[in-house]
Chains A and B, each alone.
Chain A
Amino acid sequence: MTNPDPSPFLPLPLATFHILLATADEARHGYAIIQEVEARTGGALRLSAGTLYRSIQRMLEDGLIEEVRERPAPEDDDERRRYYRITRLGSAVARAEASRLTELVAFARAAGLAPETRS
């Protein structure tokens, strides 16, 4: 199995990136994604339903995420809900985007435009 090429997807729209991050550790349904993103960004980014599902539709078509049939722990499950999880391509794309951003930050730092952080 060859490694998928993430480059056509870069740079990634912000919402797409966040959805990838939110579905990376476990399968989540739409509302959970919104909550996860909101929590992760400290309330700075609150995805609207329209943006979320339009992104989801595109990402499904592009194969960045997939809908999962097997449900999480039954006590959390709501059978009417649809759950999404990152794919192999999605992971590759998220990774590529992250390293693109890292590189960008390194450039900014070299130009003295970003704070030095201790590694």
Chain B
Amino acid sequence: MNLYAVLLRLFPKSFRLEYGEEMRRIFDRRRASTDDPLSRARLWLEALMDVIPNALMAHVDILRQDLTFTARTLLRTPGFTLTAIVVAALGIGATTAAFSVTDRVLFRELPFGDSERLVSLYQAEPGYSRFEPSPSHYRDWKQMNTVFTDLGASASTSMNLIGDGEPLRVNGSWVTSNLFDILRVAPQVGRLFTPEEDMEGAPGTVILSYGLWVEAFGGAASAVGRTIRLDEQSYTVIGVMPRNFSFPNRATRFWTPFRFNAGAFEDRDNHYLNIVGRLKPGVSLDGARAGMKAVNARLRLIYPKENDLTLALLRDQVPQQARLLLVALFGAALCVLLIACTNLASLLIARSLQRRKELAVRTAIGAGRERLIRQLVTESIVLSLLGGIMGIALAYGATPLLAQLAPANLPLPEMAAIDARILAFAALMTIATGLGFGIVPALALNGENSLDGLREGARGGVGGRRRLRSALVFAEVAISVVLLASCGLLIRALWKVQSTDPGFATEGLLTARTSLPVGRYSPTAARAQFYEKVLTEIRALPGVKSAAFTSFLPMVMRGGIWDVKIPGRDQNRAEDKVSMRFITPGYFETMGIPLLKGRDFNSFDTRSAPSAVVVSESFAKRYWPDQDPLGRVVNVTFEDRIIVGVAADVKVRGLERISEPQAYLGHQQVNDGWVPFYAPKDLAVRVSGDPAALSAAVRDIIRRADPLVPLSDVRTMKNIIEAETASRSAQLAILEAFALIATLLAAIGLQGLISFSVSCRLQEIGVRMVLGASKSHIVRLVIDDGLRLAAAGVVVGIGLAYAAGRSMAALLAGLDPLDAPTFLAAVALSALMAATSSLLPAMRAARVNPTSVMRIE
């Protein structure tokens, strides 16, 4: 083979076979007439200039022909075409949508400069792997480490913003002045903080989020330089961050410097900072871990009780459960795509059978096999392209729903955009789909002698294709069983979580958050007055049974964990902790928390009375398992308090987590200005009717009591409980949709196959009928066929589903991955699906006229 023959390989095979030999001969002739190297070089150059563009054009010619032919064929069978496009769209759409979320949460870089070198630093201790360091730790780590270019800190807060309109309650963050530099972000308008603005006594400055800027100032550039009031202090707006910036989470709407005073660094147990550092060039995460371990060892010499320290990339903060759910979701989407491809392949095989004669004729008139395969692949790519376009539209429509799947505690932009990266993924999926389901029928075609197709009634190759299609249907059924069972497991887990007793009565409870500005309400008596006035008026509203304030409602705030000591016992264990709340009298009655022993607080529990505490049952059991806890002394909030009551336990940390025991303190038994963060602010109102109907009246009462106190988060306790399972429900909704699609696709596939096998067996059926088989017998015959086909898929599917269930055990809330009711339901559904999809072909078989089918023979 000479070089020119190699060059000719650029032409389509069909062209080469037809004309390659002649072209070579012409080239040889010309070469023979050249004698010097120069003209020989010119000849080669000419050959290149001739072959390359002409070969390309020859391919384009074929493509154009194939496309024209494809358009004609597809338009001739609109039912098939539409089915194929919708099936492809479902598969590609599901995968693209799932990818857009998974990519954003798990893989995509955070919107910060050089973001993969940003590291979060936490303290660690047995039982709680990560918790926040104190300002004192921040100071020491920053000074002593050699692995970070700089460390910065932030802490979430929320304040009352008074600007032009109604007072707003806004979430924000305290930050060190260097934080934005560490993140390498720039403001959209204005400037960042200077170190001087972060000094004790410096005048207040604030940077707004894009959202707050638009809401409070209509997005006017003149906002910069203006003064706003946050919790009755003045702050100058110095800048606005860009729209896609959020830190440390999406809820944060403003940033203001800490302005630490000297006292802030004294208490090493004041854990509330998020610390982030930027790795020095050349330092790896492991290097940083080693460096910080050395720092911690030195700190232990000064503070023997110092906790461990742990580092993680800022990127990797996604909670394990959220990660697992996303992976499950993506897996489910891939299953849908796989079923879609299988289904399309099956559809195309069926159609290529119908077209055997046409294809055989084309082969006979000289279209090479390569051209036929090319034609079939062109068809499937066109179908998948159309499906891909529709799939992207589907994925785009699903983004608002999918946005709920991203955990809120991550510094991610609000919405996943369908951008170039997502489109590239979708394109890849589309091409893979087109090739995937186009190649199979093309290869099936390759395996048979196409002249057989010309023979009337020929069945050559039918058996082989039936086996291939059976295998495809088997795979579809298996995958759909996996999805159905996984979905069932998650539904059962959701029910289990939803039926968890939170420890209080959730119905008929209205909640809201007020916030007493720190300055004026620092004195305990001033707050007591406010509570008295508000609660008296609320209790007088029609339908209200009782009302009370607490520091934080359960599940609204999960933290607030304090050390606790029992005087006289030498205890200093990690588990000596309580979830501490200040409450007003009537809280237990309002919440429906049973008071098991002793009494509630009352108006006499003031500073002049002995300090009292109500503990939860688990607390009493922990320290006095066999004795009466009433009258015992507990040291909490650094003060000895006498136990006056025991209340039932409450799931403070949420339905799915283990909560610490609780300790409740009377709202009047606290020194002026002490722990203002814990001043009661969450309102609970027990009503006999619809709780939501009261919100306007409650809002009025608060406004009358103090117009500068904002009321926010007005919602029923039922909403709060529902929010507990909201992300689970959202994910489940999507998973359910996937399972439904998968089952539907499997049903389509099965039905297609049964129809096909019925049409192959028409004569046999006719013979049976002549021999006296009843219509119902024929129907049963066909349905049995369908069930048999499905059965093998179900068996394998259950095995796979069990494996899937085990791998997502962490999501199952303690449910057995081999939960019998779930698996029975999945099997029953699959059997139903198989029976239903066999029914139509079965009825067709029963309507067969025996004489007419037998005449064909």
Interface residues of A (CB under 8 A from B): 29-31, 34, 48-51, 53-54, 56-58, 80-82
Query: What chain B residues lie within 8 Å of A29 (beta carbons)?
Result: 22
Q: Is the CB of A51 within 8 A of B22?
A: no
CB distance from A64 to the nearest CB of B (A): 15
Q: Is the CB of A51 within 8 A of B54?
A: yes
Cα distance A54–B27 in the bound complex, in angstroms: 16
Cα distance A61–B162 in the bound complex, in angstroms: 81
Q: Is the CB of B54 within 8 A of A54?
A: yes
Residue of A nearest to B58 (CB): A54
Q: Is the CB of A49 within 8 A of B23?
A: yes
Query: What chain B residues lie within 8 Å of A48 (beta carbons)?
Result: 46, 49-50, 54
Q: Is the CB of A49 within 8 A of B27?
A: yes
Q: Contacts A48-B46, A48-B50 given; indicate if A53 touches B25 (C-beta within 8 A).
A: no
Residue of A nearest to B53 (CB): A50
Q: Contacts A48-B46, A48-B50, A58-B61 given; indicate if A53 touches B22 (C-beta within 8 A).
A: yes
Q: Is the CB of A80 within 8 A of B29?
A: no
Q: Is the CB of B26 within 8 A of A31?
A: yes
Partner of A51, one of B21, B25, B50: B50
- Decide yes or no whether B19 CB sits under 8 A from chain A: yes
- Decide yes or no whether B57 CB sits under 8 A from chain A: yes
Q: Is the CB of A49 within 8 A of B21?
A: no
Cα distance A51–B25 in the bound complex, in angstroms: 15
Q: Is the CB of A81 within 8 A of B50?
A: no
Q: Is the CB of B51 within 8 A of A80?
A: no
Cα distance A49–B19 in the bound complex, in angstroms: 9
Cα distance A119–B58 in the bound complex, in angstroms: 43
Residue of B nearest to A48 (CB): B50
Query: What chain A residues lie within 8 Å of B49 (beta carbons)?
Result: 48
Query: What chain B residues lie within 8 Å of A80 (beta carbons)?
Result: 21
Q: Is the CB of A49 within 8 A of B26?
A: yes
Query: What chain B residues lie within 8 Å of A54 (beta carbons)?
Result: 15, 54, 57-58, 61
Offer 21 A-B interface pairs, CB within 8 angstroms, sorted by A. Answer: A30-B19, A30-B23, A31-B22, A48-B49, A49-B23, A49-B27, A49-B50, A50-B23, A50-B50, A50-B51, A50-B54, A51-B50, A53-B18, A53-B23, A54-B15, A54-B54, A54-B57, A54-B61, A56-B19, A57-B15, A57-B58
Q: Is the CB of A30 within 8 A of B26?
A: yes
CB distance from B63 to the nearest CB of A (A): 14
Q: Is the CB of A30 within 8 A of B57?
A: no
Q: Is the CB of B29 within 8 A of A31?
A: yes
- Decide yes or no whether B251 CB sits under 8 A from chain A: no
CB distance from A22 to the nearest CB of B (A): 15
Residue of B nearest to A51 (CB): B54
Interface string of B53-88 (1 = CB under 8 A from A): 111011001000000000000000000000000000
Residue of B nearest to A58 (CB): B61
The 8 closest A-B pairs by CB, nearest first: A50-B54, A48-B50, A53-B19, A50-B50, A49-B23, A49-B26, A30-B22, A54-B54
Cα distance A50–B58 in the bound complex, in angstroms: 10
Cα distance A78–B46 in the bound complex, in angstroms: 26
Q: Is the CB of A82 within 8 A of B22?
A: yes
Cα distance A82–B25 in the bound complex, in angstroms: 12
- Chain B CB count within 10 A is highest, among A30, A50, A57, for A50
